[in-house]
Amino acid sequence: MTKPLSPELKQYLLITGNYWAFTLTDGALRMLVVLHFYSLGYTGIAIAMLFLFYEVFGVITNLLGGWLGSRIGLNHTMNLGLLLQIVALAMLLLPAVYLVVPWVMAAQALSGVAKDLNKMSAKSSIKMLLPADAQSALFKWVAILTGSKNALKGAGFFAGGALLSLFGFQSAILCLLSLLLVVWLFSLWQLKAGLGKSKYKAKFKDLVSKSRAINVLSAARLLLFAARDVWFVIALPLTLASQFGWSHWAVGSFLALWVIGYGAVQSAAPILTGNKASARLPDGRTLTHWAMLLSSIPALIALAMWQQWHSEAVLMSGLLLFGTVFAVNSSLHSYMIIRYAKSDAVSLDVGFYYMANAMGRLLGTVLSGWLYQAYGLIACLWVSSALLAATVLVSARLSKQQA
């Protein structure tokens, strides 16, 4: 007879399913907007501006969302995130003539709020479902959640490119909206009430972390994600489409496969870092070593492309190597913030940390559009390498920091 699932595991699976569905629609929406507005003749900086409010409101949401989650419960913040994404998708169903830049930016702003409410809720919930001494299990659960989420984000990129090619922009949006509506209704019915609700009523002064470890880790996270997005978000897909002549389908499919592989590596991080075999938990030294490994990759790609040495092949292989090493860095970060977060204020600490993550994405997105338009992809890669060198210096400050 099959042993029934524990209540904690059931909630973990439900939270993961919510996160998966949201991420699928979010990845598809990102690819739809980039490729659709590029086909309409928008420049790189103009497309970057469409995502400006997405990232700005992500910063605000992570800061305030942790406070909100501690007061009303993570189940409510997760369901609110799903609902806001449904509204954001509905805003894009208007006829093309009404999809002017301010309207699309407003829809993306709402989507940014939704995404970070959902992510903060999912990551914070795991801390509440495991005992304090189960650190190895925590690393494994966080790695699986983070990796599977990014695999679904890659599937979303593929779905976005495919739906745009097959059905057009509005029909693709309607498909995503319908899927998310079903998930939202099921989540309202099944997700446990009061999950993550703090006994201590957090005040606004508690929004800023007082933990040195979390502050340093947050700074490293900001630099890490700025370094990724400065060439990945705008510059890379537009280079593939304009310089190498890739179709929408090809761009969406390749980036989808990249992110799916990236997610698979994230899930395997406990094995790749040796922590699963040795039962040694990641620390600041682990972060520093992996950040050092990552920092040289964009510079090597830039150097090869500057010399025009098999540019397309170098970009593809370099992107795969970068994705593998970045995935391990990201998974280590995701575990360590959950480890450092206080149990009775987990959403506050996680919210502050992902606020820094959103600031990094915002910086990277704006730089990606501007640098690509002014100087091209190679400049984006050099800036990425410089940001990763700064990540190494910041991460080294955690080497002797204890949780």
Domains of the chain: 7-197+208-398 (1.20.1250.20)
Model confidence over 357-402: pLDDT tens digits? 888 988 898 888 888 888 888 999 999 999 999 999 998 887 655 4
Average of pLDDT values for 138-151? Answer: 72
- Predicted pLDDT at 321: 92
Tokens encoding 222: 């900001």
Average of pLDDT values for 241-264? Answer: 79
Pick the residue with more confidence: 138 or 212? 212
- Predicted pLDDT at 391: 94
- Split at pLDDT 50, 70, 90, the class of 1 is very low
- Predicted pLDDT at 220: 92
Q: Which residue, among 163, 194, 196, has the nearest Cα to 177 in the 3D structure?
A: 163
Average of pLDDT values for 163-171? Answer: 84
- Split at pLDDT 50, 70, 90, the class of 403 is very low
- Split at pLDDT 50, 70, 90, the class of 203 is low
- Predicted pLDDT at 205: 55
What is the identity of the amino acid at 89? L
Write down the mean pLDDT value for the chain. 79
Residue 246 has pLDDT above 80, yes or no: yes
Model confidence over 28-48: pLDDT tens digits? 888 888 877 877 777 766 777
Q: What is the rounded radius of gyration, in angstroms, for the C-alpha atoms of the chain?
A: 20
Average of pLDDT values for 347-354? Answer: 76
Model confidence over 77-136: pLDDT tens digits? 888 888 999 999 999 888 877 778 788 888 888 888 888 888 777 777 766 665 555 566
Per residue, the 3-state secondary structure of the chain, as one string, reads: CCCCCCHHHHHHHHHHHHHHHHHHHHHHHHHHHHHHHHHCCCCHHHHHHHCHHHHHHHHHHHHHHHHHHHHHCHHHHHHHHHHHHHHHHHHCCCCHHHCCHHHHHHHHHHHHHHHHHHHHHHHHHHHHHCCCCCHHHHHHHHHHHHHHHHHHHHHHHHHHHHHHHHHCHHHHHHHHHHHHHHHHHHHHHHCCCCCCCCCCCCCHHHHCCCCHHHHHHHHHHHHHHHHHHHHHCCHHHHHHHHCCCCCHHHHHHHHHHHHHHHHHHHHCHHHHCCHHHHCCCCCHHHHHHHHHHHHHHHHHHHHHHHCCCCHHHHHHHHHHHHHHHHHHHHHHHHHHHHHHCCHHHHHHHHHHHHHHHHHHHHHHHHHHHHHHHHCCHHHHHHHHHHHHHHHHHHHHHHCCCCC
Cβ atoms of 14 and 191 closer than 8 Å: yes
- Predicted pLDDT at 194: 57
- Predicted pLDDT at 401: 52
- Predicted pLDDT at 136: 63
- Predicted pLDDT at 244: 83
- Predicted pLDDT at 344: 59
What percentage of the chain carries pLDDT values higher than 70?
81
Contacts of 175 (CB under 8 A, 6+ apart): 163, 167
Average of pLDDT values for 305-330? Answer: 88
Residue 287 has pLDDT above 90, yes or no: no
- Split at pLDDT 50, 70, 90, the class of 54 is confident
- Predicted pLDDT at 87: 93
Residue 277 has pLDDT above 50, yes or no: no
Average of pLDDT values for 335-351? Answer: 72
- Predicted pLDDT at 221: 92
pTM for this predicted structure: 0.72
- Predicted pLDDT at 266: 80
Average of pLDDT values for 143-171? Answer: 78
The Cα 108–Cα 32 span in angstroms is 12
The Cα 169–Cα 161 span in angstroms is 10
Cβ atoms of 93 and 173 closer than 8 Å: yes
Average of pLDDT values for 315-334? Answer: 89
- Predicted pLDDT at 86: 93
- Predicted pLDDT at 100: 81
CA distances (Å), 366 to each of 30, 54, 108, 188, 362, in order? 15, 11, 15, 36, 6
- Predicted pLDDT at 8: 63
Tokens encoding 284: 């600041």
Which range, of 18-22, 199-203, 283-287, averages the lowest pLDDT? 199-203
Name, of 99-108, 241-250, 252-261, the range with top average pLDDT: 99-108
